[in-house]
Amino acid sequence: MEPKGKADFDETTGKTVFKTIISLAGQSRIYTVPCEIFFSDNSEYILKGELEVELTDFNINPPKKVFGAIKVNNEVFINFAFKLKIEETLTEKITF
């Protein structure tokens, strides 16, 4: 089955939405991440997306330097791309 058959795929935008758990500093949160799926002819596909999270969601105060003169933003931007390949099952590879 193609990956888009297992996801909520929008043919118009070419995007799908996945729920994922992100853990940081011992805290975990569930996020809904919009992604794009790119297919190729050789049983490979790429899952690509981006997400903005806030440090305060994980009980982290944004760091400050030089007595507060330099502040780090609360927002963290996560960009990712996974190259996935569909392979035969292990039982199909074993020969006796």
Question: Domains (ranges, CATH) in the chain?
Answer: 8-86 (2.40.128.110)
Model confidence over 56-79: pLDDT tens digits? 999 998 888 777 677 788 998 999
Output b/e per residue, 10-40; b: 16+ Cβ within 10 A: eeeeebbeeeeebeeeeeeeeeebebebeee
Low-confidence ranges of the chain (pLDDT < 70): 1-10, 14, 68, 88-96
pLDDT at 14: 67
pLDDT at 93: 53
Predicted TM-score (pTM) of the model is: 0.63
d(CA 72, CA 46): 32
pLDDT at 1: 37
pLDDT at 91: 52
Angle at 61 between CA 71 and CA 54, to 5 degrees: 90
Task: Give the number of other CB atoms < 10 A from CB of residue 44.
Answer: 12
